[in-house]
Amino acid sequence: MGRYVIRRLLQAIPVLVGTTFLLFATVYALPGDPIAALGGDRRLDPQLVSRMREQFHLNDPLLVQYWYYLRDIVSGDFGTTFRGVPVSSLFQGKFQVTFQLSVTALVFEAVIGVGLGLWAALRRGRWQDQAVLAVTLLLVSIPTLVSGFVLQLVLGVKLKQNTGIDFFPVAGIQNGMRSYLVPGLVLAGLSIAYLTRLTRTSLMETLRADYIRTAVAKGMSRRRVLGRHALRNSLIPLITYLGADLGTLMGGAIITETIFNLPGIGQQLFQSVYLRENAVVVGIVTVLVLVYILANLIVDLLYAVLDPRIRYE
């Protein structure tokens, strides 16, 4: 088991080096001059531009720039943005914000998605099942932009204006965990729908298995059949989905973070790609790749917990 984990982590190293270079090359290939863009609506003095290009090695070929970047990384210097903010300080707190948001969303997904799915599976073919289907279709078809602004307006602004209840903040993270409730729900929307369908299918399939029939035939109570045999076995695809989703949520919460003004990593990544801040983009995505790798590893290890037949040697 321990050796398996170490082997998996070692495999991550070439993946990381590969991704950083690919990313570096992609951002390098973007058109336009990032330094000239710093002036906004004003044209910067050509002297200033050429000085800054020199400072950030922007006149050098791709491989030379990448070499400088790696050399600095190895000596523990993650570089600065074109606007002079150390990249390492940009990450402070931002990953934490996005992580909290993602975990809130995952909890909503697991609770609502799995709950609805189980209910639909146990009531399959009846009106409850149809109702759940309708709800999931609705969730899939509403874009985050719409659900985000509508919920912000209804729960953040209107509720307070009309009833004085001030439980859901409109934006920002000054209210601790409360700040993440609405954005977490918005972010979870699409995945809730997927998880519901996945749970329903998975459980129905398990319920048709031979060992379930055997368990029922030998007179085991319905509760034990469902809890011990059916549920445990149908969790495997769900865990897989949730694990992969953590990575997606961490990197893809751009719209939600913008609407709710959460200073997270998604927003930062979007701005950095836009400003062609190579050092920041590569830094962020490297961490995201690590999150993916770790999430996948944890999911694989959970398989063994859920299904005794799976062993890692």
Partner 1 sequence: MRVTRGVKITAGAALLALAVAACGGGGGSDNSGSGSAAQPVRIEIAEPQNDLIPGNTGETSGAEVLNALFIGLVDYDDQKKPVNRIAESIDSTDQTTWTIKLKDGYTWHDGTPVTAQNFVDSWNYTAFGPNQQQSNYFFSVFKGYDAMNPQDPDGEEGPKKAPEPTATTLSGLKAVDDKTISVELTHPYSGFPTMLGYTAFYPLPKAAFESEGKMKADYGSNPIGDGPFKMSKPYKRGTDQTVEMARFDGFKEGKAKVDALQYKIYTDLNTAYNDLRAGNLDIMDQLPPEQIGGAKAEFGDRYIEQPSSGIGWLGFNIKSGDTYAKSRELRTAISMSIDRATITDKVFSGTRVPADDNISPVVAGYRKGACGEACTFDPAKAKSLWESNGGKGVKSIDLSYNADGAHKEWMEAVANNIRTNLQVEVNVKPYEKFADILNDLGDGKVKGAFRMAWIMDYPSPENYLRPIFGTGGSSNYVQYSNKEFDELLNKGDSAASLDEGVQFYQQADDLALKEMAYVPIYFYTTNGAFSANVKNVKIDPFERIDVFHVERA
Report how far residue 119's alpha carbon sits from residue 128's, in angstroms, rounded to the nearest whole number. 8
Nearest to partner 1 of 233, 292 (CB atom): 233
Under rule CB under 8 A, which residues in 35-64 are in contact with partner 1? Answer: 36-54
| DSSP reduced 3-state for 245 | helix
Nearest to partner 1 of 70, 254 (CB atom): 254
Nearest to partner 1 of 94, 292 (CB atom): 94
Q: Which of 92, 210, 308, 309 binds partner 1 (CB under 8 A)?
A: 92
Under rule CB under 8 A, which residues in 239-258 are in contact with partner 1? Answer: 258
Asked if 263 is part of the footprint of partner 1 (rule: CB under 8 A), the reply reads yes
CB of 121 closer than 8 Å to CB of 204: yes
CB of 81 closer than 8 Å to CB of 35: no
Report how far residue 180's alpha carbon sits from residue 183's, in angstroms, rounded to the nearest whole number. 5
Q: How would you class 101 by CB atoms within 10 Å of its CB: exposed for 0-12, middle for 13-18, buried for 19 or more? A: buried
Extract the tokens encoding 78.
């993650």
In the complex, least distance from residue 135 CB atom to partner 1, rounded to whole angstroms = 16
Asked if 166 is part of the footprint of partner 1 (rule: CB under 8 A), the reply reads yes
Asked if 119 is part of the footprint of partner 1 (rule: CB under 8 A), the reply reads yes
> Site map for partner 1, 2-21, x if CB under 8 A?
--------------------
CB of 225 closer than 8 Å to CB of 216: yes
In the complex, least distance from residue 289 CB atom to partner 1, rounded to whole angstroms = 22
Tokens 């190293």 found at: 13
Asked if 125 is part of the footprint of partner 1 (rule: CB under 8 A), the reply reads no
Looking at residue 166, the DSSP 8-state letter turns out to be -
In the complex, least distance from residue 271 CB atom to partner 1, rounded to whole angstroms = 8
